[in-house]
Amino acid sequence: MANSQNIIPLIRDADRGRLLPDMQEALNKIVEAIEANRGAGTGKLTLTLTIKSKSEGAYTIIPSLTAKVPEQSRTEMITFLDSETGELIRRDPRQPDLPGVTTADFRRGATDQQE
């Protein structure tokens, strides 16, 4: 019967010590993507160790690491077709301009809609 093995040193030493930092980097990317999506999405980190007998008492361990990072979610936007230009615009052309109404321009402050 073979002795019980501690897998942590095998993972730490696999791929000349590069596997564990790669796993940490992949985990960080998954968490960052989920946080950027305000908690939405699911990531997956898969570690596969292929173990083969090289000769009696000698083994090769071939690590494989895959990460599925959730894609950034997008917010839908409502647009309207401008019948004069044929372009999609953000303001509904069927709504009349009201005098004295201002729109917010976050870079320059409130601006008069009549500009």
34-59 pLDDT tens trace: 999 888 899 999 999 999 999 999 99
Q: Which residues have C-beta within 8 Å of that of residue 26, sequence separation ≥ 6? A: 45, 65, 67, 69
Q: Do residues 23 and 47 make contact, with C-beta atoms less than 8 angstroms apart? A: yes
Over residues 7-21, the mean pLDDT reads 94
Helix (H, G, I), strand (E, B) or coil at 66: strand
Q: Which residues have C-beta within 8 Å of that of residue 11, sequence separation ≥ 6? A: 19, 20, 23, 47, 63
Position 87, amino acid: E
Average pLDDT across the chain, whole number: 86
Residue 106 has pLDDT above 70, yes or no: no
What is the pTM (predicted TM-score) of this model?
0.62
Tokens representing 81?
């077709």
Give the domain ranges of the chain: 7-68
Cα–Cα distance between 29 and 69 in angstroms, integer? 7
Q: Do residues 37 and 29 make contact, with C-beta atoms less than 8 angstroms apart? A: no
Element (H, E) at 102: strand 102-105
